[in-house]
Amino acid sequence: MKKIIVNLNKRSYPIFIGKNILSDKSLFNKVNKKSLALITNKKIEKLHISKIKNALMKKNKIIISDGEKYKNQDSITKIYNYLLKNKYSRDSCIVAFGGGVIGDMAGFAAATYQRGIDFIQIPTTLLSMVDSSVGGKTGINHPLGKNMIGSFHQPIAVIIDTEILKTLSKRQFNAGMSEVIKYGIIKDKNFFDWIVKNTDEIKAQDPKSIIKIVKRSCEIKAEIVALDEKEKNIRALLNLGHTFGHAIENYLGYGKWLHGEAIACGFLIASSVAIQKNTMNISEYNKIKALLKAFSLPTKLPKNINIEKLFKIMSLDKKVKNNEMVYVLPKNIGNAYITNKISKNIVIKALKDHAK
């Protein structure tokens, strides 16, 4: 089993990564002493609850309907109702067992119930293992915008059992790979090259390769979060491709393209902006494109997209600061930077170059 620490002084916590580690009771020692509520959805309950049954001493469950559209206030109310009716105190602990939807929602319930209680993350999708379960961003959607209500609340532990990925669809797996590739682009050229060399092993879910990509991704995220927990500066590097990606998701209607798919296309648009600014060369762009293709991720915008409309949606993104669009751009594979000095023309050209 691998262990990584997210260093945040008193709020530091471990991330455990391994194959079949959910049966290890010792990982749950701390939480088993508390009143526990496990939050999951029906699908994950059916597929994987047996893996965790023996290690968790108390079996109280809150089942939320499956899907992004249930990441809302109604589900949070359902969680509060359960906790209050069953007299959960400030000393209780929530266990989030699911993908990013369950993790964000359970984390937000933990952040706000009686002004904040402990929670642990047991992520079950690749995206939640390498991204959403680490870093303490929790929240729900509002009818007027995605992730608009939320709080920073760090978990007390993250437990990642890579065996759980076996039941994940290929499409969801590849969407998670998009965030993995992102870490290579923004921070670690060797890691990027390693993914290129080991694409087949990763696709076949060779256990060692999966542990390697999850571990390296968590290390990079942990390092960045430790430096800038509340995204005042460098944590924004993690948003590479996201301004473009969110706009695509929003334009199409959420769920049409998965988040990982939309940001994959976003990496290339950001790279193309960087090429126009002469801060990146085309051979790097081509390497990124080839790797995204290898994981069946989109490298072009959706068909017949209206570029002006897409740009307008981008300018409404919550990452816009003081009316200026902020962009994360790659310099080369392994380095990225944040800038607000990009003219609309350049962005429009990059978008047009990716239209079908």
Q: Does 41 bind ligand NAD (CB under 6 A)?
A: yes
Q: Does 205 bind ligand NAD (CB under 6 A)?
A: no
| Of 19 and 43, CB closest to ligand NAD | 43
- Residue 12 CB, shortest distance to ligand NAD, in Å, is 18
Binds ligand NAD (CB under 6 A): choice among 38, 75, 94, 104: 104
Neighbours of 144 (CB within 10 A): 6
| Residue count, binding to ligand NAD (CB under 6 A) | 27
Rounded Cα distance between 274 and 236, Å, is 17
Q: Does 241 bind ligand NAD (CB under 6 A)?
A: no
Q: How many CA atoms lie within 13 A of 106 on its CB side?
A: 31
Binds ligand NAD (CB under 6 A): choice among 8, 47, 196, 326: 47
Cβ–Cβ < 8 Å for 102, 112: no
Closest residue by beta carbon to ligand NAD: 100
- Residue 306 CB, shortest distance to ligand NAD, in Å, is 25
- Which amino acid makes up residue 44? I
| Of 57 and 148, CB closest to ligand NAD | 148
Rounded Cα distance between 223 and 4, Å, is 10
Instruction: State how far the alpha carbon of 139 is from the alpha carbons of 145, 282, 322, in Å.
Output: 12, 38, 23
> Which residues inside 142-161 make contact with ligand NAD, applying CB under 6 A?
147
- Residue 104 CB, shortest distance to ligand NAD, in Å, is 5
- Residue 349 CB, shortest distance to ligand NAD, in Å, is 29
Cβ–Cβ < 8 Å for 116, 73: no
Q: Is 105 exposed, middle or buried (CB count within 10 Å of its CB: 0-12, 13-18, 19+)? A: buried
- Residue 102 CB, shortest distance to ligand NAD, in Å, is 6
> Which residues inside 61-100 make contact with ligand NAD, applying CB under 6 A?
66, 68, 71, 98-100
Using alpha carbons only, how large is the chain's radius of gyration in Å?
20
Binds ligand NAD (CB under 6 A): choice among 37, 83, 122, 168: 168
φ/ψ (deg, to 5) at 175: -65, -35
Cβ–Cβ < 8 Å for 298, 257: yes
Binding site for ligand NAD (CB under 6 A): 41, 43-44, 47, 66, 68, 71, 98-102, 104, 124-125, 127-128, 131-132, 135, 137, 147, 164-165, 167-168, 172
